[in-house]
Amino acid sequence: MKLLRMLGIALVAVAAVGLASAQSWTPVQNVPNIGAGAMALLTDGRVLVHDESGNSGTWGNWWTLTPDINGNYATGTWTQVATMPSGYGPLYFGSAVLPDGRYIAEGGEYNEGSDAWTTKGAIYDPVANKWTAVSPPSGWNSIGDSPSVILDNGTYMQSSCCDTQKQAALLNPSTLAWTSTGSGKFDIYDEEGMTKLPGGSVLDVDAYVFQYNSAGKNWETYNPGTGAWTSQGSTPEQYWDSAAGCGGEGRATYELGPAVLMPNGTVYQTGANSCGAGHTGIYTVSSNSWAEGPDFPGSFDIADGPAALEINGNVMMFASPGFGGTGGQMFEWNGSTLTELPNPPNGSGDSSYYGHLMMLPTGQVLFTDFSNDVELFSSAGSPYTGWNPTLLLSNLVFSPGSTVRLNGTNFNGASQNNAYGDDFQDATNYPIVRFTNVATGHVFYGRTHGHSTMAVGYHGPTYTSVDIPTDIETGTTYLQVVVNGIASKNYQIGIN
């Protein structure tokens, strides 16, 4: 039923083929001999990267990419960090950066290279450089590659991919205990993604796994207050792949593409429905309604694959011809047209599901594809407005090694920013704090934790705590809060 795979080791129109201008890729240097795959932005500005090369004994290995002294990730430093608990080395799993700054990985379609739909999990503490095993919710038989999400109140919600009970649970990060949630789910969570909306509800387009339907367009929303799902009706087109004979499997794959909330209050949903018909849809949050988006040109679709909100407010995404087909291509949706972007160097040899996209504090988007060619994408145009964080500073002098509470607004951004679906989650809707020494231009990141909210689309008062780096240079310094690559103005402070 579930697609088994290993590493591949109409309201608007499609624009004429042509590359968006002034957009480019930059290679990250000194990448170790790994297969860079799943990644996460730690709250101290480092990027946590999983080795998904498939080499024996490497499935539990993780690395960090630290920007250089000038804040440049392309010439940053790679460091291997602690290995996951013995017996756990997942591929295609649930994940998130928690509000306390730790990183959680749950489940896995594969474990240590073998198909498993495992219920294993672990949390990484970047301060202690240590992984701690997490027991699954009681009675669960699988987690696999099922989706997860951080709710507005900071609670981690994990689903089970393949249990017919349609299971989901909430994690207490202090006790690592689980509480069941998610009553009323239409179908199982397998192959589906969860997209947070302003106000706290969660959007899910159903994939009809185990429904055995030839077609299906149901979509539903989760209410964190009641812990229940409610079916909302039908999408204008089908976004999951039900076409037997497509993707080289000879049967339906049930895969669908990522969905990204944009600053204009719409969600752009990409699809993998049938050979040669990769549909997309536009969900408007304020009216709770859908409209058709443009089909991908030719045979392109996204049967699992990444997307990210760029700092110009557009959505970039990686498509390919059917599930597993190579010949990948980057596209960009600007709210009215779908246009080709320049491809990363390996793009034409990749399938969409090889790819991972994630926004960095620099406003660049990081791309990995199971190889050691890691790339940075720079977007054209100006940053979108209305979501720059603001600060209310009561103290203008900070000391190295101290912890400071920062108050302000827009600390959690317009969107989760990055999406994939059931296999990979790397949302960045939390505050990153950057310090730039005025005299030297050197850049330092503090570690944030204890965010007051994880709500997207929220303009109200927020706060976080930041640990001032012990090695930060003293003197006059600019402080910025950055969320999803969108930075506050420079606030001048002193470090002494």
- In the CATH scheme, what architecture does the domain 390-495 have? Sandwich (2.60)
pLDDT band at 143 (very low <50, low <70, confident <90, very high): very high
Q: Tokens in use for 108?
A: 């896995």
The pLDDT value recorded for residue 274 is 56
The pLDDT value recorded for residue 248 is 47
The pLDDT value recorded for residue 214 is 66
Reported as a single tens digit per residue, the pLDDT across 289-311 is 999 999 999 999 999 999 999 99
Strand partners of residue 350: none
Q: Which of 306, 297, 254 is nearest to 277 (CA)?
A: 297
Whole-angstrom distance, CA of residue 279 vs CA of residue 377: 25
Q: Which of 94, 176, 160 is nearest to 168 (CA)?
A: 160
**Is the Cβ–Cβ distance between 434 and 472 less than 8 Å?**
no
Taking residues 239-263, what's their average pLDDT? 78
**Is the Cβ–Cβ distance between 223 and 201 less than 8 Å?**
yes
CA distances from 27 to 30, 76, 372 (A): 10, 11, 10
Amino acid in position 232:
Q
Reported as a single tens digit per residue, the pLDDT across 356-370 is 999 999 999 999 999
Which 3 state secondary structure label does DSSP give 385? Answer: coil
Whole-angstrom distance, CA of residue 255 vs CA of residue 271: 8
Whole-angstrom distance, CA of residue 156 vs CA of residue 171: 6
Q: Is the pLDDT of residue 184 over 80?
A: yes
Residues ≥6 apart with Cβ < 8 Å to 191: 3, 161, 207, 209, 240, 254, 255, 256, 421, 422
Average model confidence (pLDDT) for the chain? 93
Residue keyed to tokens 């997860």 = 148
Taking residues 320-326, what's their average pLDDT? 89
Taking residues 122-138, what's their average pLDDT? 98
**Is the Cβ–Cβ distance between 481 and 408 less than 8 Å?**
yes
Does the domain spanning 21-378 belong to CATH 2.130.10.80?
yes
Reported as a single tens digit per residue, the pLDDT across 346-401 is 999 999 999 999 999 999 999 999 999 999 999 999 999 999 999 999 999 999 99
The pLDDT value recorded for residue 183 is 98
Which 3 state secondary structure label does DSSP give 312? Answer: coil
Q: Which residue has the higher pLDDT, 63 or 275?
A: 63
Taking residues 219-225, what's their average pLDDT? 98
Q: Is the pLDDT of residue 243 over 80?
A: no
∠ Cα 459 465 469 (to 5°):
130
Residues ≥6 apart with Cβ < 8 Å to 160: 140, 141, 142, 143, 144, 146, 166, 167, 168, 188, 189
The pLDDT value recorded for residue 7 is 52
**Is the Cβ–Cβ distance between 23 and 377 less than 8 Å?**
yes
**Is the Cβ–Cβ distance between 294 and 407 less than 8 Å?**
no
Reported as a single tens digit per residue, the pLDDT across 201-217 is 999 999 998 876 667 99
CA distances from 22 to 25, 295, 380, 406 (A): 10, 25, 5, 36
b or e along 54-88 (b: 16 or more beta carbons within 10 Å of the residue's beta carbon)? beeebbbbbbbbbbebebbbbebebeebebbbeeb
Taking residues 476-486, what's their average pLDDT? 98
Give the length of the chain: 496
Q: In the chain, what are the domain boundaries?
A: 21-378, 390-495
pLDDT band at 5 (very low <50, low <70, confident <90, very high): low
Q: Which residue has the higher pLDDT, 12 or 200?
A: 200
Q: Is the pLDDT of residue 427 over 80?
A: yes
Q: Which of 190, 215, 210, 193 is nearest to 202 (CA)?
A: 193
Whole-angstrom distance, CA of residue 125 vs CA of residue 128: 6
